[in-house]
Structure formats: C-alpha cells, structure tokens
Amino acid sequence: MLKKLMKITLISMIGGSILFAGSFNAQAEKDRKAFVKYFEKKFENPVKNQAEYFPYVTKAELQNKYISPISFQGFQDGPLSWYKPSKEQFAEINEFAPYEIPLDDGIELFNKPFANGKSYSNCFPDQSIKQNFPYYDTKRDDIVTIGMAVNECRVKNGEKPLKYGKGDLAKVVAYIAFKSRGQKINITIPSENAAKAYEAGKKLFYKQRGYLAISCNECHVQSAGKRIRAEALSPALGGTTHMPVYRVKWGGLGTLQRRLAGCVKDTGSEKPKMQSKPLKELAYFLTYMSNGMKLNGPDTRK
C-alpha cells in the first residue's frame, strides 16, 4: 500500500498535465482514499502486520500497548489513537484540561467589542466554520486560513492584526474550533490553481529536505505507530482535526501552522514563516487528506 501511495505521488508530480483533467479534485480523491486505506490496513492488526509495518516492535508490546483496530474517525486522536500509554496519560491530564483557560480567554476575546462597537461575531455570526478552513478563494487566487480570516476581521473593523501562530489569535481560533466540534472536515478544490496548490503541498509533504534529509512522510506515514524514545509518532491522517493544540512543550496554545513550522524545522530546514505560501499549501494538502473526519479541537499534546 505504501508503494502504491508513493507511486500515486510520483505520477502526479511528473504528469502535471494529467492532474487537471475533469474534476479538479479527482487526483486528490485518489490520494486521500489510498492514504486512508494505508492507515486502516496498518493498524487493523498490528501483531499480524508486524513484519510489514512494525519489525522493530516486540510482539508483547504490540499486544499490550497498541490499540486496534482503529476506525476512520478514531485517527482524529493522533498518537492517542494507537498507543495506550499516551491515551491513558492524556485522559488524566485532560481531567483538568490545560487548554480550558486559554479557551475561556478566547471566548472573552471573541465577544469583546472592538473600538467601533462591533466584535468578531459580526464577521462570524456562525462560529461552527472551522471545518471549511483552509479554503481556496478563487477570487483572490489564494489559500485562506482561519488565522487570516480572524485578522482580516480585525483589520476590517479598525483593529491591528494579531501575531500568527500563538497568543490571542490561537485563543480566538480555539473558540471557533470548540464551536465547530463534531463538524466534518470539508476541504474543496474549486479550480485548476487550487489543484496546483494542493499538489505543491503534497510535494512538500513527501520531499526529503534539511540536513537530516527526511520528509514529513517518513515520520507521519511510514513511521506512524512507532516510537522515538518515549515519543509516539502520530499518523498524518487526522493530524489537523484537533488544532489548535495546547502543547506541554510550549506551555500554551498553538495553531496548525505553528505545529507544521516546527516539524519542518525538525528536519534541519529553515523554519518557514507563518502564512507563507509553502506552509499554507502544506496545511491545505494535509487537511484535505482528513476530509470527512470530525473536528475535536482544541486538545492537549506533549
């Protein structure tokens, strides 16, 4: 299945003219279905699949510490979806969830009037919208993230934009995410340029880079379900459902782009800037891969 997944990727990188025939999301749907099938097969029976997917994990650990099978929706929990110790640890942590205080701050910020007397609710009368972000705006010919939408609302009402990635912006996005819980991710590819943006994000996901010469794929597809020391590697499938996330490492909330930028830096590459074109394209691709999954953010992770 992994070979099939990589073959699809290679064909789409080389045969660019083929990508946009017919429906703009035809290739993306092939990718997504192969993506889902790979993860479902991998975690259907870890003991049975030991030789193919988990050759360096003992049979005893696969039997006692791995959760299986994992349903499609189950992948929304990241490393907690497959590793019992992590699931149990964070169940205890979330009894007094660290994200609740910044979430309360986000509720207050959302409802606080701007200087002109309006508030975020004038821009977002229905807050259950996060399932549609990031989306490709054909009029501006660009990917629009939820963070961009929040800051454009502020500027429209005479306020200064907030810093991307964390702080007050992450708190406001956390409230929107909370109001969107249970909604299914619904990312569309409405144009040829949107399909190109998707392909650029996919290429970045599979590209080896940095002085470590590794890719997102190697950690979060090939090595998903394995551990680096005490760290359980999360599957890329469902990786965008629980954002923004409170990370113990950060001591606060962070958006999807903050998390992705950190991952890119971990490959030994230069850390991309918030809202940069490559970072938005990567988020667009990854979120499309989780189409149909229910949002469950904000959440807590290491």
**Which residues form the catalytic set?**
263
Q: Which helix (H) or strand (E) holds 160?
A: none
Backbone phi, then psi, for 294, in 5-degree steps? -85, 140
**Contact indicator for 173, 153 with CB cutoff of 8 Å:** no
Peptide bond connecting 102 to the previous residue in cis, omega within 30 degrees of 0: no
Considering Cα of 299, then 77, then 180, then 221, what sign does the dihedral take?
positive
230-234's contacts with Cβ under 8 Å and 24+ in sequence apart are 231/302, 232/79, 232/82, 232/83, 232/85, 232/86, 233/79, 234/78, 234/79
**Contact indicator for 236, 224 with CB cutoff of 8 Å:** yes
Q: What is the DSSP string of 19-54?
A: TTSSSTTHHHHHHHHHHHHHHHHHTT-TTTTHHHH-
